[in-house]
Amino acid sequence: MGAVTYKDGIAILQLIVFPFILVASLFIWKRTGWRVGAKIWRYPFTLSLIRLAGSIATLISINDNSENVQIAIFVCELIGIAPLLLAYVGMLRLIDLEKQIPPRPLALVTLMAMIGLILGIVGVSTSHTTTPGKLTKAAMGLFLAVYVITMAIAAWLFYSLSLALLSYQKKLFLGIALSAPFLLVRLIYSALGDYTSYRHFSIKSLLNSDHTSVTVYLCMSVLEEIICMVIAMVFGVSAILASDFVKPTPEVEMEMNRKERPNGV
């Protein structure tokens, strides 16, 4: 049996933390409503499953450090970025009860993240290597664009609603604002790994358990993600428990959509 390394310790940390995030996301999802809440809270739920799968793959690599296991770790690392970003798009949907944001921008942002997810999976699956290829780099470019657009929409929506914000909306905005710098660092870590030759951001050095690379990974990726999700879950729970929280039922959505149509058509 192989020895448990520093990198394996990080996987154990994720196995401890992400079940709590998974349960919290399920709690908020249920309170929001399974049908409507799926557009919002399925993303942190999915991210938790991906991180748990990646951690299990890392622990499997203790005794089976094959190329397939390494690629599985790499895929889980990459595809987790999409649900991480879309969790904040979902929070904007929950804030924007009166549909201030036109539907197309949010749909476009979601589509970009999904395309990035597909490109990343195909890029890793077809290259049979942990070296980022063109498709992986394209996926990272889309993720960076999703971050910029999401934060721009959040700033615009806050400005539009600032004079009439409900308590639950303020809490969700605060969750997004506090998470933004940590999310940016998380993306910078992946971007440096994809677009530069810096050894300490290389997935290859990480898989080889280079001590400095693993520390950089812990500080710029794992902890940043955990902090982002903890902030999102804390403010998410606080928002849905607020006395003025408006549950986005299908009926409420239909009424808001009716108001959007000209002349009540």
Residue 244, token pair as written in the block: 């003025």
Residue 27: alpha-carbon gap to chain centroid: 18
Residue 252 has pLDDT above 80, yes or no: no
The set of residues, in sequence order, having a beta carbon less than 8 Å from that of 200 and lying 6+ positions away, is: 210, 212, 213, 216
Q: Which amino acid is at 171?
A: K
Count CA within 13 A, CB hemisphere, residue 9: 9
Residue 160 has pLDDT above 70, yes or no: yes
Residue 6, token pair as written in the block: 């520093």
Give the chain's domains with CATH numbers. 6-252 (1.20.1070.10)
Helix, strand, coil content of the chain in percent (nearest 5): 80, 0, 20
Predicted pLDDT at 264: 45
Predicted pLDDT at 230: 96
Tens of pLDDT, residues 103-129: 788 889 999 999 998 988 887 766 655
- Within 72-214, strands assigned E span none
Q: Pick 47 or 248 by higher pLDDT.
A: 47
Percent of the chain's residues with pLDDT above 90: 48
Residue 99, token pair as written in the block: 């549909």
The set of residues, in sequence order, having a beta carbon less than 8 Å from that of 149 and lying 6+ positions away, is: 105, 108, 109, 112
Predicted pLDDT at 136: 84
- Return d(Cα 131, Cα 10) in angstroms, integer: 22
Average model confidence (pLDDT) across the chain: 85
CA angle 12/119/10 to nearest 5° reads 10
Tens of pLDDT, residues 29-63: 988 888 878 878 899 999 999 999 999 998 888 88
Q: Pick 120 or 172 by higher pLDDT.
A: 172
**Looking at the whole model, is its pTM more than 0.85?**
yes
Predicted pLDDT at 265: 42
Dmax (CA) for the chain in angstroms is 71
